Amino acid sequence: MARYDNALNATGERMKTPLSVLVTGASGQLGCELRRILETGRAEIGPIPYGYEDVHVVYTDAAELDIADGDAVDAMVAQHDPDIIINCAAITDVDGCEADEERARRVNALGAYNLARAAADHDAVIVHVSTDYVFPGTEEGEREEGDEVGPLSAYGRTKQEGEELVMDAAPRHHVVRTAWLYGYGGKNFPETMLRLAADRDEISVVADQWGNPTSANDLAYEVLKIALSGSYGIWHCTNEGTCSWADLAEAVLAESDCRVVRCTTEEYRAANPNAAPRPAYSSLRNRHLEATFGNEMRPWQEALATYMANRAELRND
């Protein structure tokens, strides 16, 4: 059982040690990095935050827990009585969500609600991971946490609904929006580019959609800090700097002979008519991080360089 000690978090709430944490979506990109840094004690940014000594973590995924099943969620949370629930579970296939919005809503909205309600019932903190795609992206510049949302796609709509349900159901909530995520486990954009480049001379990549490529390892580090913060609400957490998908592809393929051919969103959608709409400008500013314990997220180029140097050793395909 967790016990209280003399440690206080940033808002003066008494912390429990050792902590008990439940991670859903544990086999995804963020879930894999949470496991990695909790087991090794450090992230690429640095040592994991104080407070996770002797932490007890339960990792679960869709095969073990259907978060859209409220009774199953209640049973899991009652069994493990976590201090913190980190919800990494989501249907993130943007085009797939467009084809079956109700399936996406079942996990991205209803599942998030079930976890938040159970967290509230057990006085636990919930960290719910969301997305830049809740914004319409019609204006240039960075989006801040308080900016008006207006998703263009089914994926964005179901994630926005999940955000609202979490915030309504659980007083002790952290909604963490991130973007363009890649990590050492699971599918991601850099790995797709490398796979395609292996047998092609050129790849067409959209050059007029702008965002923040984000290392799942960096995000996992900040999620652990956010989870211990009493500054509840919405957080943006991405690597620093903005680029286009084509810029990112060129950075990934810098050592490859494959050429990146820049195209417009209009050209891409003409060739892929079933593709879901995506925001043109969805770059995020980490304002909440800046205002609390500081924004330690690395420039996207630095984080990507670390990933490219380590991927051969750390990828678990």
Active site residues: 155
Q: What is the dihedral of CA 60, 65, 71, 77, to 10 degrees?
A: 0
Instruction: Confirm whether 150 is domain-assigned.
Output: yes
Inform me whether the pLDDT recorded for 8 exceeds 80. no
What percent of the chain shows pLDDT beyond 90?
A: 88
Count how many domains the chain has: 1
259-315 residue pLDDT tens: 999 999 999 999 988 899 999 999 999 999 999 999 999 999 999 999 999 999 988
Mean pLDDT of 3-9: 40
Q: Which residues pair with 233 in a beta bridge?
A: 174
Task: Name the band, by pLDDT with cuts 50, 70 and 90, for residue 209.
Answer: very high
* Percent of residues, the chain, with pLDDT higher than 70: 94
Strand segments, DSSP code E, in 46-168 are 56-60, 84-87, 125-131
What are the E-state strand segments in the chain? Answer: 3-8, 14-17, 20-24, 56-60, 84-87, 125-131, 173-178, 181-182, 202-206, 210-211, 214-215, 233-236, 243-244, 259-263
Does residue 307 form part of some domain?
Answer: no
Closest CA to 293 of 223, 208, 198: 223
Residue 128 near residue 162, CB atoms below 8 Å: yes
Q: Say if residue 213 is preceded by a cis peptide, omega within 30 of 0.
A: no
Q: Are strands 173-178 and 233-236 parallel, antiparallel or unpaired?
A: parallel
CATH number of the domain where residue 136 is located: 3.40.50.720
Give every strand in the sheet of 125-131, ordered side by side. Answer: 56-60, 20-24, 84-87, 125-131, 173-178, 233-236
pTM above threshold 0.75: yes
Helix (H, G, I), strand (E, B) or coil at 267: helix
**Which has the closest alpha carbon to 29: 218, 157, 289, 194?**
218
Tokens of 25: 């979506």
Angstrom distance (rounded) from CA 314 to CA 186: 12
Confidence (pLDDT) at 1: 28
User: How large is the average pLDDT for residues 217-237?
Assistant: 96
Residue 132 within a domain: yes
CB 19 within 8 A of CB 232: no
pLDDT (average), residues 195-213: 95
The domain containing residue 103 runs over which residues?
3-188+213-241+283-299
Report yes or no on 169 lying in a domain.
yes
